[in-house]
Chain A
Amino acid sequence: MILHQLLNYDTLRLIWWALIGVLLVAFAVTDGFDLGAGMLLPFAGRTDIERRVIINSVGPVWEGNQVWLILGGGAIFAAWPQLYAVSFSGFYLAMFVILTALILRPVAFKFRSKREDPAWRARWDWVLFFCGFVPALISGVAVGNVLQGVPFRLAGDMHIFYDGSFFGLLNPFAVLCGLVSVAMLVMHGSGWLLLKAGGAVAERARRYGLIAALATIVLYACAGVWLWAGVQGYAITSVVDPLGPSNPLLKTAVVRAGAWFVNYRTHAWTIAAPAGGLLGAFGALVGLWFRREIMALLCSALGIAGIVLSVGASMFPFILPSSIDPRASLTVWDASSSHLTLFIMLAVTCFFLPIIVAYTSWVYKVLWGKVDENAIRNETTHAY
């Protein structure tokens, strides 16, 4: 196999760094609205039929949306095995809590309306709330911790040692990041419900959405200021070899104040990411206010993309810095798969991603239109 020499190792590493960003954005934007709808479920829906409107508005699509997360996991495993190994084992208990939510979610969707008993249904409604809230909060908290550095070290044979604790993850900055994540997904979910659900549900969702959009703007700005003033960044101090073997221990790195803002100074265009985050959230606020459904949803998608990408832009080339041994930090240049694997995975992705986007768009087109209460009452085609 010499075909992979067509693309240099360093180019491939960059492409994969960008692709993981694309996958995470796709997950946050698609699964984001159904996680948000889950969080809004007990509040925006008061009666059983209203709640079924909310559940059925995401019913046909949440399953496909969640695959972005599964694909993200698989792609990180394949393209950045060390990142996968360190983050999943390091955040072990947090991952377990997220998994609990991911186990309960499909079941809650499927099982809730299979029995008439109101107590049964109320229980699953709160499960759906939990399954929206917990992954949203924890993924934000995880990002907050990654920005501060994670307490792991690598032995010479690459065995991973993690010295942190579960409650250590819940430090104030990380919790703030978690709240940003919750707020932005509630905002997104409310945009979705405004578009897909009619009547009282949409109106209530809109009101929560306005608060969430405002909260997103304020909390995200606060997190930015805190990151600038109170969180130290990381910098590589040795010569970087973008073509070198994937072995993080071959470099040296240090903790340095302001390092997370260097990229914005040297490559001014990267400011587009945080700017998009703020503008998108503001656009969503305006859209929700004037009941412009599509604008609200598109703007909140832009906001989410901007917020996710701003984390990547400020950390580049770091992916997972280590707070106890900065040398072991994983970067774009030393934590990837081999040249051949990156190339094969890119070829496969280039082939399948357009197909996935095509049929997913087609499905959304087929399902276009509002889910209203009469449809739920009369039809047998609203499965949940």
Chain B
Amino acid sequence: MELDIVSLSRLQFAATALYHFLFVPLTLGLSIIIAIMETVYVMTGRVIWRDMTKFWGTLFGINFAMGVATGVVMEFQFGMNWSYYSHYVGDIFGAPLAIEGLMAFFLEATFVGLFFFGWDKLSKVGHLAATWAVAIGSNFSALWILIANGWMQNPVGSAFNPQTMRMEVTDFAAVLTNPVAQAKFVHTVSAGYVCASVFVLGVSAWYVLKGRHLALAKRSMTVAASFGLAAALSVAVLGDESGYLSTEHQKMKLAAIEGMWETQPAPAAFTLVGFPSQEARETHYAIHIPALMGLIGTRSLDTVIPGINELVVHAEARIRQGIKAYDALQKIRALPAGEKLPDNLRGEFEDNGHELGYALLLKRYVDDPRQATPEQIAKAAWDTVPQVAPLFWLFRVMVGIGMLLILLTGTFFVLSARRMLDRYQWLLKVAVWAIPLPWLAIEAGWLVAEFGRQPWVIEGVLPTAVAVSNLGVKTLLLTLTGFVALYTVLLVIEVKLMLKAIRTGPTAEHDPDEGVEQRHVRPFNPSKLASAK
């Protein structure tokens, strides 16, 4: 890969986002699981549920710190590395980000202090309220961030203003109710729930395997399995909804995910596996399932899903229309200040303005898109095809893991309903080894969503290459290395502290069937445990 400003900026954003996304899903899910546990404590008065809340709360805290630390970077990076982007869409994109702070992050960050420090200062119900405030805050955060992200995938409710040279909001309600944003929100948040559930399930399974903290571990597994199963199912349903929506809004991403180069007669077949080749423009050794793609993508048997080759032809036409818009824009800007916009010019811009972004694709090859040669236009049209092979595979990794996790949480749900959680050793081992899987799926999902919309930073509106700040390559290399080094060191420390906290285990244990509070610390002693059996 070339080390230019654009690829370095992209790499930096991807690296910091992927790191950030290691912590966010766990925060999203664990905050709710903790709140559920504490609710049971407040309702039943059984102290073991408070111990569970505190124990998982400790792990939550270690993870939360990293989530906050890496999240601040995300917000600042838009201005730092993507200043033209910030200018171009700040009018729309900035709003959900600011509302996230006002409505969600404040709630979460203010009450997380009370969650840890307020056990003795608040009533039971008061503390429970603080815990739920953290959970609700985290989840609302995700809502606003995904409204912002959804707009980048499907830029509704906005128009370009030639006087300010940027996109401005025309219909904020449309931005809020953007179907892509809604589907993404529920899909992402449920994925976070699955992630935390599998984490709780795996750590608890480890305790059961070791014969430690059995009462706490089994109860935790029951919560995690039921919550996790519900979440895993909704991830799948809403993932399917996301796919359906990309048929409408991101046809190129969908075709790339499928490795579908030629438009097939409806209903299209689903490619189970295959080896897409960008150069040959075809997918080798593909194994198809007839009609399935048509059903997933269009929910009908007769709607055609366009293939990559056909979409490139469309893109070329849109570039040509974009050039007309660009031409009209230049003429508008050349008008002396204060002069009224002539009607023909206004009409010309209004007719073609929505394709202005396609003209900007040519900026890679010429300064003035109006000077572009037919070869350059054809090249820019092919630039609209993202890297097919990685998308094709990442998508299959995500879906495959998703299926496995439905199976896993479903199995443990049945086991817990039948009170057989400790019967099958090998299943407990599977649960321990499954801990990293949700993260793999989630990171793959992020890459499919973001890598899949290249070359656009705002689908059809602003090409990624135009959006960067004018920074030096050396500067970018310095900060990229800095972020990666810092994050990696902190990640290692965090994992070590997590493992230490898990090994130490909950600090107090109680007779599970007694409501009376007893405080005695029982350090782990394997020989004693064996004799107790």
Contacts and interface: CB of A to CB of B under 8 A. Distances in A.
Contacts of B121: 366-367, 381
A126 interface: no
Interface string B321-349: 00000000000010001000000000000
B80 interface: yes
B110 A359 contact: yes
Contacts of B86: 77, 81, 84-85, 88-89
**3 A-B pairs with the lowest CB-CB distances in the bound complex, closest first:** A81-B90, A88-B79, A78-B94
A84 B65 contact: no
Contacts of A352: 102-103, 106
Interface stretch (A100-108, A167-175, A214-222): A100-108
Contacts of B105: 67, 70-71
B27 to A, nearest CB: 12
A243 B475 CA distance: 39
B475 A160 contact: no
A109 B490 CA distance: 13
A89 B81 contact: yes
A136 B326 CA distance: 45
A111 B87 contact: no
Given A161-B470, A341-B169, 17 more contacts: A67-B110, A73-B76, A79-B94, A85-B83, A89-B471, A92-B479, A96-B479, A341-B91, A341-B92, A349-B102, A352-B103, A359-B107, A359-B110, A363-B111, A366-B118, A380-B119, A381-B117
A150 B103 CA distance: 33
B117 A158 contact: no
B525 to A, nearest CB: 21
B97 interface: yes
Contact of B79 (A84, A162, A340, A382): A84
Contact of A73 (B66, B75, B122, B333): B75
A64 B112 CA distance: 8
Contact of B102 (A96, A337, A348, A366): A348
B91 A81 contact: yes
A10 to B, nearest CB: 16
A1 B61 contact: no
Given A110-B62, A338-B169, A158 B98 contact: no
Interface of B: 61-62, 64-66, 68-70, 72-73, 75-76, 78-81, 83-84, 86-88, 90-95, 97-103, 105-107, 109-114, 116-122, 161, 163-166, 168-173, 333, 337, 469-471, 475, 478-479, 482, 486-487, 490, 493-494, 497, 500-501, 507
A283 B107 CA distance: 33
A99 B98 contact: no
Contacts of A66: 68, 72, 109
A369 B66 CA distance: 29
A86 B86 CA distance: 9
Given A107-B66, A161-B470, A381-B120, A99 B76 contact: yes
A360 interface: yes
B482 A104 contact: no
Given A67-B106, A95-B80, A383 B72 contact: no
Given A103-B490, A106-B69, A158-B87, A338 B161 contact: yes
A337 B72 contact: no
Contact of B475 (A92, A349, A383): A92
Nearest to A108: B65
B465 to A, nearest CB: 12
Nearest to A154: B87
A345 B482 contact: no
Contacts of B99: 74, 345, 348
A156 B166 CA distance: 12
12 contacts: A66-B68, A73-B76, A77-B98, A103-B487, A107-B493, A114-B501, A156-B333, A158-B88, A159-B84, A341-B94, A348-B102, A367-B113
Contacts of A92: 80, 469, 471, 475, 479
B117 A74 contact: no
A14 interface: no
Interface string A267-288: 0000000000000000000000
B87 A345 contact: no
A317 interface: no
